[in-house]
């Protein structure tokens, strides 16, 4: 950047923050130039969110200074930050679901008529004006519950802008977005940049850093390990800085050795919660020793397909067979007993009981069987020692097995689920979005385990919204569009372009049966 | 609840302890406003509860049913259900015990007493099964149904004690006195002893141990807790969610039913017509919440509520404090517990150290 002579819009120096047992920030320096998009990169728990929460006044630093536009600033609470023009968009949105966009945006500073009446027309007009100014395209009268996550995020961004922010902190904004929404967000960010806003972009996704930022600061274990111009670095270098060792960004895997058909889905139809068809006439098969990836844009029936196979939603018609046995509409417990394991897409809603300890979570499906219980009596010693074994084997970072699952980081929560599911000697592994929200190190781990399961002869059904993940892992790829499988490709035939077209419903793959023969 | 369990007992209890102290202070303010001397009043409360052996006995008599109803609410709450129906379940427990206690006259004690007690538990369980079934099978909200079941129990008992089970020898609407073989022993003296505390208190403590054992040591308890903490995850894991809910309601109902049976077999020896709800079931909600939905916490909270109820009478009698003011103290404490975040916030104010609060609590008790 050529502005090195100018005063940075933001300079944090020597920021240290100690939490009980963790040094979250250790003498961190961070500078943000006027008008740049600066990526703050690090694994989960590296301290990047802590640093930004200090900047936004949510935490107090133990030591260190913050200067805004050359002036030393004391930021004790978010209102101080807002006064200095610093706005933050949190990972978890803070919106009133039942309110409209405009109502949310004016919350706390409602325009009034005659002192007491809420002037909603003024609010709507103001929202329209600002949203058009930044090219955000939001309907001020839509209710939050009715709009997509990507739109809700725009509301949050707009909220910060309306409060006069010109330094914007975006805390992992892409974690909740589909690939299309990510590119829309990037367009918005460039637009904001063109209007002179400076943006801190927190992420752990390397491709995004390369795609959008001018500079990148890498944090590892609370320390800054590098501050680089994005144009002069590479994905590999960033990964090494972030994790502290060389990382296999490409999954090492040999050729598949497909065996018998384990899972056969035949002309399956499933309705969604509103009783509309969500899965329409889907037929698939997964052999032992192969990974079948299901690609598709979110909301094209993948969720309902997985729910139907795993017994969480009834099939309207069609059949599901496991190694020759009919398991259509079986109870989850029977499925687990016959060797189906399921890494669910929503780990906090389905995968874990956050209030339960890790040990309790490890036996969620098996607690009623020996050795974990005998005649209805739980054997805590066995349960806890099994948990300790899995914590060790799967490298789960936790103070112990009695800690509530909810206190772990997202990556470690996912490791608990992966450990529990893969340790149960499955025939069929169903992994739905197994790496959503995880950092590079944890993704590498989960991918390695899935390939290991494949190589041990298990059938693996992988559902992912991340095309990269599908391309990295799958031996065959089925694409879902509007509830149908529009094609099954072998890995060799699949290119990002072709898959993209199929996911958008613009192309059909070769005949599914033919491609199965080709790979079989 | 969402609090990590490994924080130690003090971590669990510091907020309730501080809430009690704040509640007592608020009560003192109200007493001062009504012209009473708070110190005299709290002195009367303490001496009324503990001053003489008979006072201690009476305090335990108050505590006894609250342990059962507190457990009843707690065990349902663990499955994510709100058992407002403990009141009615306790009433049917009393009626059943009064009927079996009289009808079984002539049976040997070793059979008659357990039979009477268990009939109360069974009646309570049946009463809870109705809202439990409706919730588990049809998803009907348990709160409305269990409130209605309370009214049905109240008026049904009213009808029975004025007709079919009324003692014809007396004018008042009482049931016949149960046989001695169905009465719980009083610790000091016979069945007419003024020390009314009886072996029912041991049954209550045993019930707390049983509930603890079921919840934390058995697969059934694991299922109940899993369903209460995250029903979606329980379903994903193959746990039968409706069954776990139903089991917890049956257990809850039997606890409330035991409250009624022990009241009849240990204190009243007959069913006395109720003109309104006695409030043990509703107080049980507060007891369960103050006790953090933990069986042992419930025993502690029931003791606190028993002391306050008994103490209320004593403050009235000795220090001439309106009984209602004791109600205010009680309400203030529950209020403070409910406003957990508020109290926690106060506790984290530097200089207002937790240890001080702990000491103050000990001195108070």
* B284 prior amide bond cis, ω within 30: no
Nearest to A476 by CA among A251, A292, A261: A292
Interchain CB contact of A369 with B (< 8 Å): no
Asked if B4's CB is within 8 angstroms of A378's CB, the reply is no
d(CA B120, CA B126): 10
Alpha-carbon gap: B247 to the closest alpha carbon of chain A (Å): 14
Over residues A316-365, the pLDDT tens digits come to: 999 999 999 999 999 999 999 999 999 998 888 899 999 999 999 999 99
Instruction: Please give the residue of chain A at the shortest CA–CA distance from B214.
Output: A377
Mark which residues 289-328 of A lie under 8 Å from B by CB: 310-312
Instruction: Please give the residue of chain A at the shortest CA–CA distance from B4.
Output: A404
Number of domains in chain B: 1
User: CB atoms < 10 A from the CB of A398, how many?
Assistant: 20
Contacts of A57 (CB under 8 A, 6+ apart): A75, A76, A77, A78, A79, A80, A81
| Torsion angle defined by CA atoms of residues A400, A404, A409 and A412, in that order, rounded to the nearest 10 degrees | 60
- Chains A and B form CB pairs within 8 A to the count of 72
**What's the distance, CA A252 to chain centroid?**
23
- Does the pLDDT of residue B354 top 50, yes or no? no
pLDDT at A112: 74
d(CA A496, CA A502): 10
Asked if A367's CB is within 8 angstroms of B236's CB, the reply is no
DSSP B273: P
User: CB atoms < 10 A from the CB of A384, how many?
Assistant: 19
Nearest-by-Cβ selection for A367 from B2, B222, B229: B222
Residue B91 sits in which domain range? 5-341
Asked if B229's CB is within 8 angstroms of A356's CB, the reply is yes
Over residues A420-439, the pLDDT tens digits come to: 999 988 999 999 999 877 77
Asked if B226's CB is within 8 angstroms of A364's CB, the reply is yes
Q: Nearest 5°: CA angle at A159, between A154 and A164?
A: 125
Report the residue count for chain B.
365
pLDDT at A192: 93
Nearest-by-Cβ selection for B4 from A310, A364, A404: A404
Interchain CB contact of A404 with B (< 8 Å): yes
Contact A359, A391 (CB under 8 A): no
Alpha-carbon gap: B170 to the closest alpha carbon of chain A (Å): 50
- List the strands of the sheet with A71-73, edge to edge: A22-32, A10-19, A63-68, A71-73
pLDDT at B172: 87
Over residues B275-318, the pLDDT tens digits come to: 888 889 989 998 998 888 999 999 998 998 888 888 888 888 88
Q: Distance from first CA to last CA of chain A, Å, rounded?
A: 54
Contact B162, B273 (CB under 8 A): yes
Assigned token pair, A70:
């050359």
Residues of A in contact with B4 (CB under 8 A): 403-404, 407
Over residues B177-186, the pLDDT tens digits come to: 999 999 999 9
Residue A436: CA atoms inside 13 Å, Cβ hemisphere, count?
20
DSSP B182: G
Contact B48, B318 (CB under 8 A): yes
d(CA B219, CA B129): 21
Pick the CATH number of A261-339+427-519 from 3.40.50.300, 3.20.20.70, 3.40.250.10, 1.20.58.100: 3.40.50.300
Over residues B19-55, the pLDDT tens digits come to: 888 888 888 888 888 777 888 888 888 888 888 898 8
Counting as low any pLDDT under 50, the low residues of chain A are: 1-4, 511-520
Suggest the residue from A333, A342, A353, A363 to mutate for an interface test with chain B (most B CBs closer than 10 A). Answer: A353
Asked if A364's CB is within 8 angstroms of B237's CB, the reply is yes
Interchain CB contact of A352 with B (< 8 Å): yes
Residues of A in contact with B219 (CB under 8 A): 367-368, 373, 376-378
Instruction: Please give the residue of chain B at the shortest CA–CA distance from A365.
Output: B237
Q: Distance from first CA to last CA of chain B, Å, rounded?
A: 26
Contact B93, B255 (CB under 8 A): no
Contacts of B215 (CB under 8 A, 6+ apart): B75, B78, B221, B224, B225, B295
Residues of A in contact with B233 (CB under 8 A): 349-353, 364
Residues facing A277 on adjacent strands: A271
Contact A489, A509 (CB under 8 A): yes
- Give A301: exposed, middle or buried? Use CB within 10 Å, 0-12, 13-18, 19+: buried
Q: What is the mean pLDDT of chain B?
A: 87
Interchain CB contact of A379 with B (< 8 Å): no
pLDDT at A366: 95
Q: Which architecture characterizes domain A8-85+166-247 according to CATH?
A: 3-Layer(aba) Sandwich (3.40)
Interchain CB contact of A382 with B (< 8 Å): no
Interchain CB contact of A406 with B (< 8 Å): yes
Nearest-by-Cβ selection for B218 from A334, A351, A377: A377
Residue spans per domain, chain A:
8-85+166-247, 95-163, 261-339+427-519, 350-425
CATH number at residue B244: 1.10.3470
Residues of A in contact with B216 (CB under 8 A): 378
Complete DSSP assignment for A455-499: HTT-EEEEE-S-HHHHHHH-SEEEEEETTEEEEEEETTT--HHHH
Assigned token pair, A493:
């035939």
Assigned token pair, A497:
């372009």
Interchain CB contact of A437 with B (< 8 Å): no
pLDDT at B351: 53
Contacts of A260 (CB under 8 A, 6+ apart): A287, A288, A323
d(CA A16, CA A149): 34
Contact A458, A474 (CB under 8 A): no
Suggest the residue from A361, A375, A378, A379 to mutate for an interface test with chain B (most B CBs closer than 10 A). Answer: A378
Suggest the residue from A356, A358, A370 to mutate for an interface test with chain B (most B CBs closer than 10 A). Answer: A356
Over residues B236-250, the pLDDT tens digits come to: 999 999 999 999 999
pLDDT at A52: 93
- Output helix, strand, coil percentages for chain B, rounded to the nearest 5: 75, 0, 25
Contact B326, B27 (CB under 8 A): yes
Complete DSSP assignment for B103-144: HTTTS-HHHHHHHHHHHHHHHHHHHHHHHHHHHHHH---HHH
- Give B205: exposed, middle or buried? Use CB within 10 Å, 0-12, 13-18, 19+: middle
Instruction: Please give the residue of chain A at the shortest CA–CA distance from B233.
Output: A350
Nearest to B161 by CA among B216, B223, B94: B94
pLDDT-derived band of residue B134, with 50, 70 and 90 as boundaries? very high
d(CA B248, CA B303): 24
Interchain CB contact of A274 with B (< 8 Å): no
Assigned token pair, B5:
């369990």
**Confidence (pTM):** 0.78
pLDDT at A56: 94
Contact A217, A224 (CB under 8 A): yes
Query: Is pLDDT larger for residue B266 or for residue B319?
Result: B266
Whether residue B364 lies inside any domain: the answer is no
Contacts of B81 (CB under 8 A, 6+ apart): B132, B135, B142, B228, B245, B248, B249, B252
d(CA B308, CA B49): 9
Interchain CB contact of A367 with B (< 8 Å): yes
Complete DSSP assignment for A273-339: TTS-EEEEEEEEEEETT-EEEEE--TTSSHHHHHHHHTTSS-EEEEEEEETTEE-TT--HHHHHHTT
Contacts of A233 (CB under 8 A, 6+ apart): A216
- Tokens 């209320």 appear where? B312
Alpha-carbon gap: A325 to the closest alpha carbon of chain B (Å): 19
DSSP B175: B
Complete DSSP assignment for B2-33: -S-GGGHHHHHHHHHHHHHHHHHHHHHHHHHH
Nearest-by-Cβ selection for A378 from B217, B230, B234: B217
pLDDT at B9: 65
Assigned token pair, A193:
């940049």
Alpha-carbon gap: A10 to the closest alpha carbon of chain B (Å): 32
pLDDT at A120: 83
Report the residue count for chain A.
520
Question: What angle, rounded to 10 degrees, do the helices at B354-364 and B8-33 form?
Answer: 60
DSSP A505: T
Contact B259, B283 (CB under 8 A): no
Nearest-by-Cβ selection for B220 from A356, A376, A406: A376
d(CA A40, CA A30): 9
């Amino acid at each position: 950047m050529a502005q090195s002579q100018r005063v940075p819009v933001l300079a944090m120096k020597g920021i240290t923050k100690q939490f009980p047992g963790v040094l979250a920030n250790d003498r961190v320096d961070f500078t943000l130039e006027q008008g740049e998009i600066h990526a703050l990169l690090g694994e989960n728990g590296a301290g990047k969110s802590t640093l930004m929460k200090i900047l936004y006044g949510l935490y107090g630093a133990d030591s260190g200074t913050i200067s805004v536009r050359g002036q030393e600033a004391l930021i004790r609470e978010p209102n101080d930050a807002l006064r200095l023009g610093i706005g933050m968009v949190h990972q978890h949105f803070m919106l009133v679901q039942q309110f409209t966009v405009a109502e949310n945006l004016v919350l706390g500073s409602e325009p009034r008529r005659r002192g007491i009446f809420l002037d909603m027309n003024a609010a709507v007009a103001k929202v329209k004006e600002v949203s058009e100014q930044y090219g955000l395209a939001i309907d001020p009268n839509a209710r939050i519950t009715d709009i997509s996550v990507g739109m809700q995020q725009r509301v949050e961004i707009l909220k910060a802008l309306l409060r006069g922010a010109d330094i914007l902190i975006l805390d992992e904004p892409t974690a909740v977005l589909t690939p299309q929404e990510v590119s829309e967000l990037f367009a918005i960010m460039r637009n904001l940049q063109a209007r002179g806003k400076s943006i801190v972009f927190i992420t752990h996704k390397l491709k995004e850093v390369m795609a959008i930022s001018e500079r990148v600061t890498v944090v590892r274990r609370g320390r800054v390990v590098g501050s680089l111009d994005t144009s002069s670095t590479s994905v590999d270098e960033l990964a090494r800085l972030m994790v502290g060792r060389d990382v296999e960004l490409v999954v090492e895997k040999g050729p598949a050795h497909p065996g018998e058909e384990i899972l056969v889905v035949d002309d399956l139809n499933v309705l969604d919660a509103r009783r509309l068809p969500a899965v329409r006439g889907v037929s698939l098969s997964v052999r032992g020793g192969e990974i079948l990836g299901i690609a598709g844009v979110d909301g094209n029936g993948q969720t309902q397909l997985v729910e139907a196979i795993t017994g969480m939603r009834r099939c309207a018609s069609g059949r599901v067979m496991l190694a020759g046995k009919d398991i259509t509409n079986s109870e989850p417990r029977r499925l687990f007993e016959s060797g189906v394991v399921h890494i669910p897409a929503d780990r906090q809603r389905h995968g874990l009981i956050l209030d339960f300890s890790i040990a309790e979570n490890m036996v969620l499906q098996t607690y009623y069987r020996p050795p974990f219980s005998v005649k209805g009596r739980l054997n805590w010693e066995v349960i806890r020692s099994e948990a300790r074994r899995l914590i060790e084997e799967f490298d789960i970072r936790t103070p112990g097995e009695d800690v509530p699952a909810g206190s772990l980081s997202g990556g470690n929560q996912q490791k608990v689920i992966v450990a529990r599911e893969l340790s149960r000697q499955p025939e069929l592994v169903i992994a739905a979005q197994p790496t959503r929200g995880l950092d590079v190190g944890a993704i590498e781990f989960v991918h390695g385990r899935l390939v290991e399961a494949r190589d041990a002869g298990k059938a693996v059904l992988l559902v992912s919204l991340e095309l990269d993940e599908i391309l990295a892992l799958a031996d065959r790829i089925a694409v879902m569009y509007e509830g149908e499988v529009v094609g099954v490709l072998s890995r060799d035939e699949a290119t990002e372009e072709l898959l993209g077209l199929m996911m958008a419903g613009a192309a059909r793959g070769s005949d599914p049966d033919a491609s199965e023969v080709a790979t079989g | 609840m969402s609090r990590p369990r490994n924080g130690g007992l003090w971590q669990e209890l510091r907020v309730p302890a501080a809430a009690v102290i704040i509640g007592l202070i608020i009560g003192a303010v109200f007493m001062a406003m009504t012209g009473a001397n708070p110190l005299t009043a709290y002195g009367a409360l303490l001496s009324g509860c503990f001053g003489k052996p008979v006072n201690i006995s009476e305090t335990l008599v108050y505590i006894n049913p609250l342990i059962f109803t507190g457990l009843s609410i707690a065990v349902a709450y663990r499955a994510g259900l709100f058992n407002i129906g403990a009141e009615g379940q306790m009433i049917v427990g009393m009626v059943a015990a009064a009927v079996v206690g009289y009808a079984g006259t002539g049976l040997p004690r070793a059979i008659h007493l357990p039979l009477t007690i268990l009939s109360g538990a069974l009646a309570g369980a049946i009463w809870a099964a109705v809202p439990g079934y409706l919730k588990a099978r049809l998803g009907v909200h348990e709160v409305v149904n269990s409130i209605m079941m309370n009214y049905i129990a109240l008026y049904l008992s009213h009808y029975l004690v004025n007709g079919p089970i009324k003692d014809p020898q007396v004018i008042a609407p009482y049931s016949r006195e149960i046989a001695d073989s169905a009465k719980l022993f009083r610790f000091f003296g016979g069945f007419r002893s003024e020390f009314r505390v009886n072996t029912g208190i041991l049954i209550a403590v045993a019930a707390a141990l049983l509930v603890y054992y079921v919840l934390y040591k058995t697969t059934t308890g694991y299922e109940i807790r899993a369903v209460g903490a995250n029903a979606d995850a329980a379903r994903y894991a193959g746990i039968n969610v409706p069954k776990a809910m139903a089991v917890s309601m049956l257990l809850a109902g039997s606890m409330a039913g035991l409250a009624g049976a022990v009241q009849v077999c240990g204190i009243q020896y007959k069913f006395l017509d109720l003109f309104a709800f006695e409030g043990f079931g509703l107080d049980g909600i507060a007891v369960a919440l103050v006790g953090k939905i933990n069986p042992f916490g419930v025993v502690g909270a029931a003791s606190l509520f028993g002391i306050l109820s008994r103490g209320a009478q004593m403050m009235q009698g000795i220090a001439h404090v309106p009984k209602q003011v004791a109600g205010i103290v009680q309400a203030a404490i529950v209020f403070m517990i409910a406003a957990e975040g508020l109290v926690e916030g106060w506790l984290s104010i530097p200089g207002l150290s937790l240890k001080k609060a702990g000491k103050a609590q000990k001195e108070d008790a």
